[in-house]
Structure 1
Amino acid sequence: MSVKIRLKRIGKKHKPIYHIVVADSRSPRDGKFIEKLGTYNPHTDPPSTVLKMKNAVSWLIKGAQPTHTVKSIFSKNGVLFKKHLLEGVKKGALTHEEIQKKFNIWYKKYKI
């Protein structure tokens, strides 16, 4: 079974809001999903995102493939960077304390 992390459209006509969900790749866009990871609202300035980072990182480590849009959202929110750092822990190059320091530095630099 191929698992995707993708957007599920909700909201009114011409004013969509999206849920970021983990779903089987064969299920329809607004159909059944495995887990909800957060929400994305493109109508605010800047677009607002609410994520469960820990769950998103764990699904990426398990092998779930994000769509292009979700990958962009994850990149802007630091999910992909956190996954990258956790792979360094697996290899023995970093410790959990070093990961926290590096992620906090990144967060202060790139998040508003």
Structure 2
Amino acid sequence: MAVKIRLARCGRRHLAEYDIVVADARSPRDGRFIEKIGNYNPNTAPSTIRLNEASALKWLFQGAQPTDTVKGLLSKQGIMLRKHLQIGVNKGAITQEQADEKFRLWQAERAQSITQ
């Protein structure tokens, strides 16, 4: 079974909001899903993304493939970077402390760029 992390449309006409869901690739866009892991609202001035990071990481490590849009959203939140760093830890390239420090530095740079 191929599993995807994708958007499911909700909200009213002309004011769409999206749920970020983990679903079988064969199910329809707004059909059955395995788990809802977040919400995305593109209608607010800075787009609002609420995401359960632990669930997203769990599904990525289990092999779920994000769609292009969801991959961009996960990258903005730092989930893809955290996955990349954790793979390095698992292979022994870096330690967990080094990975945590790199992620903390990335968060600080991102917060600084947003405020400017």
Same fold, judged at TM 0.5 (above)? yes
Q: Which moved more, 1:53-62 or 1:63-72?
A: 53-62
Q: Which amino acid aligns with 1:27?
A: S
Q: CA deviation at 1:108?
A: 1.2
Counterpart in the other structure of 1:11: 11
- 1:59-74 map, 5 Å: 59-74=59-74
Q: Which moved more, 1:93-102 or 1:11-20?
A: 93-102
Is the partner of 1:27 in helix, strand or coil? coil
- The answer for the alignment partner of 1:100 in structure 2 is 100
Measured after TM superposition, the shift of residue 99 of structure 1 is 1.6
Moved over 6 A (4+): none
Task: Provide the rounded CA distance (Å) in 2 between the counterparts of 1:55 and 1:96.
Answer: 20
Structure-1 separation of matches of 2:105 and 2:45: 24
Question: Which 5+ residue runs of structure 1 have no aligned equivalent?
Answer: none
Give the equivalent residue in structure 1 for 2:27: 27
TM-fit CA distance, 1:61: 1.3
Q: Which residue of 1 aligns with 2:47?
A: 47
Q: Which amino acid aligns with 1:52?
A: N
Superposed CA offset, 1:58-98 (max 9, x none): 21111111011001101111010000000001101122222
Matched letter for residue 109 of structure 1: E
Between the two proteins, what is the percent identity of the paired residues? 54
Give unpaired runs (5+ residues) of structure 2.
Answer: none
Q: Give RMSD over aligned pairs.
A: 0.9
Give distance in 1, aligned partners of 2:52 and 2:108.
19
> d(CA) in 2 for partners of 1:95 and 1:44?
39
Count matched residues.
Answer: 112
| Alignment-mate amino acid for residue 59 of structure 1 | W
